[in-house]
Chains A and B, each alone.
Chain A
Amino acid sequence: MVSKENTVYQSVLICDSFHNYFGPIGEHYPSCLVPLINRPVIEYALDSLRVSGIQEVYIFASTHADLIRSYVNKHWTPQCNEDFNIFVYSSDHYFSLGEILRDLFSKAVIRNDFVLIYGDTVCNLPFKQYLDDFKALRLKDKLCVMAHLFRLSSPLHRTRRKDDESIAVLQASDKRLLCYEKIHLKKIDLDLLLFQNNKDVEVHFDLQDTHISICSLSVLSLFADNFDYQTRDDFIKGIMGQEEILGNTIYAKILDSPYYAARAVSPIAYDAISRDILQRWTYPNVPDLLMNYAYLRNHIYKEGISNITAGSILSRNIAIGDKTEIGANVEIHYSVLGSNVRIGNNVRIEGAYIWDNVIIEDNCTIKTSIIGKNVIIKASTNINNGCLIADNVILGPNVNIKEISYIDSKHRDEDDPGILEVLQQIDAKNLGESAKGFVWIDDGREDGQEESDGGSFSPEIWGLPPDESEQGISSASSSENEQSDDEYEYDYKFGDGDDGDDQKRYYAEVVDSLIRGIECKIACENLIVEINASKHAYNIQYKDVAFLVSRAIIDAVSKLANQEGKATAGKIKEMVKHLSPLYVNYIRDDQGKIDCLKAMEEFTVSVMNQSSSIPILVHFISYLYDDSVLDEDTIIRWHQRMEILYSPVSEIDQYVIEQKSLRSHAIMLKFIEWLKTAEEESESD
């Protein structure tokens, strides 16, 4: 047992991103072993943990676990002393954070508060202090289970992942997390109660998730108790949901400069973090302090001896590894070159990450791409934005690799030499004559990892011009703004109030089943069962059903009638006859009759082409009259009294005009006239 005075500072390092964002490169490396400025990412993470006073690190790995284990054994175990110990656990079952933490719980190696961090994190945080702070916080709030670290960054910051945007709602006084939601749409709904029950509420969209948490031991037991918690977001949601029952709380800790933390989880983040390091935002995590790089002006870093021919241009933000040779008339901007890279003459490199031992021959152009180790790019090859080239690929000569190409040296079906040969021929056309490589195809779904990741949101693609996405924001927002102009003046077409969406969906479903019912001649009893079932599903009130169903029938019938060319009276009559049990079922009182008429009128008005739709309406009314679903009194009463239809607010005047023209349409008047005389006749009988 460890006595209280002798607290061991512990950390859990998750070396798996549970999703391969790096395409072909991810086949060779886990994201934490990708070289970032010529140094594996995990080294940054381990280094900052060690420097900040963490004494025990538990590494959990699943994919590429052997690589991680051997890396740690080779680079860290020899130096480990009493004060910094690394333990590596690996298992194929670690396919989510939840699984890992449940396993960790059963191992019982964590004895007090710990730091939960991912292996691909670059940060410069004082974890020891955070753990002490957290301890103090837990003395104040005994039910606090987690403090989550956020970094302040503007919504357009380059390290923000568009697929990882979230909104955090905090209590202003003590930064308690009240709500944390991922954003998938252009709009987010926050619970009104949040604002009613808390006096001052901070809404943050300027927080970037660092995926670093300071956790108490109860986090592990909570994960163990709730088998459905897969991700940290599940956990946060669960804690928020059960707050009233368990009272557990989560706090947010907001990092501001000079603290830095970001995950190099995808090529976009990798690119952004590389630039941050080169521009020294991550200080002291910069190449000249971590490695043997010399720091020159314009953020150029050089290691050891590199042979750069005079006349080549190195603009700014460049790191060049040991023993790298650069030919004549070469231009390099914003790029990182590994060691032993050989670059020919007349080469232009812009925003590229070129790893060790790469050979680039003369007259090549490389833009915003990652080139893996030992790659050979033959002469006069262009590599465009967003390409990911895995280790050992050979490309060229004389080809243009188009944007966002993912190329691997091996093919998944490499055991089958026949296929391989065919593929080689196909790819030779695209990748060059002496190429060795295959276009990589994403099949990440095979092991079901994607589902556990919870992202139906398609991840951003690296390499698209950055201004495009930004323009997207402003143009989309301006158009959206016009839409949201009348945001609060609800303008649902039918129904009043908030359940308009449900009604729309219910309505669409009813129309579908009616069309199917007419086409396949399904018995009306079955249709009624179907309509009732969806009524419950969408929580539609009984009083609305008569209206919705009547509207749906005329909608369905006129759709079908118009489909077959000219709408003939006979066809309509046939269909109405088929569906008449529906009317009998749903229209039971006078209010129902009025609703039915109003529904049909509203539909007719909403249809653009009035000349054809008014006759259909009149036909409908007359059939229903014949079927004695409707009676003369109701119809005449309806015709005399103008009632305002449900209509979009913006078009209300338009609707009134059309309603008038409908009521005074010749056919309609004729019909009403006929009805009146029929009534008189029946009276005189």
Chain B
Amino acid sequence: MSFGIQAIVLAAGRGSRIPELVSSQPKCLLPIGNRPMIYYPLHALESCKFSVVTIVINEGQKEAVSEAIYNHFDTRTMTNRIGWFLLPNKDEDYGTADTLRLMHEQKQISSDFLVISCDTLTNYPLYQLVSSYHIRDAAITCLLSSSNIISDGSTPGKKGKPVLEKDLIGIDYQNNDRLVFFNSELVFDEDIPFSISMLKRCPQFIIHNNFLDTHIYIIKKWVLDYLAEKRQFKSIKANLIPRLVREQFKSNVIQNKTTYDSEVENKYKVDLLDYVEEDEIYKAIENLDNFNLSHVTVNPDTKEKKKVYPDSAVKCYAVIQRDGISLRANTVTGYFEANKRLRAIFPNLPVKDKTSVPSTPTTPNVGPPVKVQIGADCLVSPSSRIGDKTSIKRSCIGDHCLIGEKAKIANCVIMNHVTVEAGCNIQGSIICNNAVICSSAEIKDCIVAANHKIATYGQFSNEVIPPTFVDASDDL
């Protein structure tokens, strides 16, 4: 089923919020529960049978990403028709809005579209979001989650509770959950200004500061035309949505396109309302309404009535996930929580096909380990070797790891090709690819970067332990 909308997975993020973790691989391939991050948005799209999916990645990463994807999905049963969009490697970072603009310029977007970030993990059934989009004729529909669990989590590598940037999201529950306020708290200094004209039209709303913006949006195609002109908009979340939300309170008559074109074009003034394309069906319904009214007030001059909130031409809606969990793995806390809560979010993930994991001959194939304690909530890759008498609790262990004898691992995320020697005690930490933890080291609440080696009897807590010998870019 296509739903008439195209899905776009933004996977070209460079992980600027988690530089500690992305030194050895693209962000979208960071393992979460032994699967690459990008698996989860694709899984969400796949389970709703989206047929047109475009993945945006940086140039030069296509091979790695597509290999990772095909390792985890059975291409024969997949309904997704995956297309790729490669962002050219340039010095400047492409914002999310920049990406859309570029795709639009290259005619890569042909319909209304759904944007999902590769770091979003959600068990919300996306078809409900799509239905809501179809019902409401919204310029933009945002999926928000009322259970923001990240705020309770702890962060490896840092002391104390994480201070996370909050989004202030205002919702008008009287008007089918219209989105009336959408800004990060950092936009404001001390006060938040509200104009009286806005309050007059929307006199009651609730501002939440604990809602998670899942970064799943369904956007109308005409918004792209507007975005194409507004070159200063870099990000969907920080620029585009706040503007669209504010535009709802602008009162204006939809002007005919022809009159606009014939006027002297003013390049400096881009008015969103000139770009609004009304859905034909909704227009027809509206005309029917007017027809009924016209018996009472016959006035052909006021045919184009003023559109004010809540009937404004631009409509932004929120869809709120009340039960279930969503989270974003775009911060260390988020990434860490994602690993820990994976079972809670996706209790029914398909079991990974063992044959899809390329077996490496280096793994010595010995008999099953003895006296091993592995908690039921752990995810341990079958290609890893676990030594005798180890204890693993609430942790994820990636592919091809070697865990030595009597090691204790609790609340950890261990990526691929990690070696943990005998007698180590690791708690609440993230160990990146190819790291080596020599015997009897004690690590608590740390991040061990890729390719780093921790000496015997090393003791660390609340630290980011930097890489020693390999430059990050070499490995890509």
Q: Give residues in A with beta carbon < 8 Å to B.
A: 154-156, 165, 167, 172, 183, 185-192, 195-196, 198-206, 473-474, 476-478, 480-482, 484-485, 487-488, 497-498, 650, 653
Contacts and interface: CB of A to CB of B under 8 A. Distances in A.
B196 A199 contact: no
Contacts of A484: 195, 246
B197 A195 contact: no
Given A191-B190, A488-B242, A477 B251 contact: yes
A624 B194 CA distance: 47
Given A192-B188, A488-B187, A653-B268, A205 B204 contact: yes
Interface stretch (B68-76, B207-215, B450-458): B207-215
B204 A189 contact: no
11 contacts: A186-B195, A188-B199, A189-B192, A189-B193, A199-B209, A200-B210, A203-B194, A205-B196, A473-B200, A474-B306, A478-B252
Contact of A205 (B188, B200, B210): B200
A157 to B, nearest CB: 10
A185 B196 CA distance: 8
B83 to A, nearest CB: 35
Contacts of A473: 197, 200
B306 to A, nearest CB: 7
A480 B208 contact: no
Contacts of A498: 189-190
Contacts of B268: 650, 653
B251 A190 contact: no
Of listed A191, A192, A195, A497, residue having the most chain B CB within 10 A:
A195
B242 A476 contact: no
B38 interface: no
Contacts of B203: 154-155, 204-206
Interface string B216-258: 0000000000000000000000000010001001111000000
A183 B185 contact: no
B170 interface: yes
A55 to B, nearest CB: 36
Nearest to A498: B189
Contacts of B209: 195-196, 198-201
B249 A192 contact: no
Interface string B145-157: 0000000000000
A327 to B, nearest CB: 35
Contacts of B250: 478, 481-482, 485
A482 B273 CA distance: 12
Contact of A188 (B168, B189, B194, B208): B194
Nearest to A484: B195
B193 A487 contact: yes
A129 to B, nearest CB: 25
B345 interface: no
A480 B197 CA distance: 8
Contacts of B166: 196
B147 to A, nearest CB: 12
A650 B202 CA distance: 29
Given A203-B170, A203-B204, A481-B197, A192 B190 contact: yes
A572 to B, nearest CB: 36
Contacts of B183: 488
Contacts of B200: 155-156, 205, 473, 477
Contacts of A202: 204-207
Contacts of B252: 478
B197 A200 contact: no
B191 interface: yes
Contacts of A204: 203-204
Nearest to A654: B268
Contacts of B202: 205
B18 interface: no
B259 to A, nearest CB: 18
Contacts of B193: 187-189, 487
Contact of A200 (B195, B199, B206): B206
Contact of B251 (A167, A172, A474, A653): A474
A318 to B, nearest CB: 25
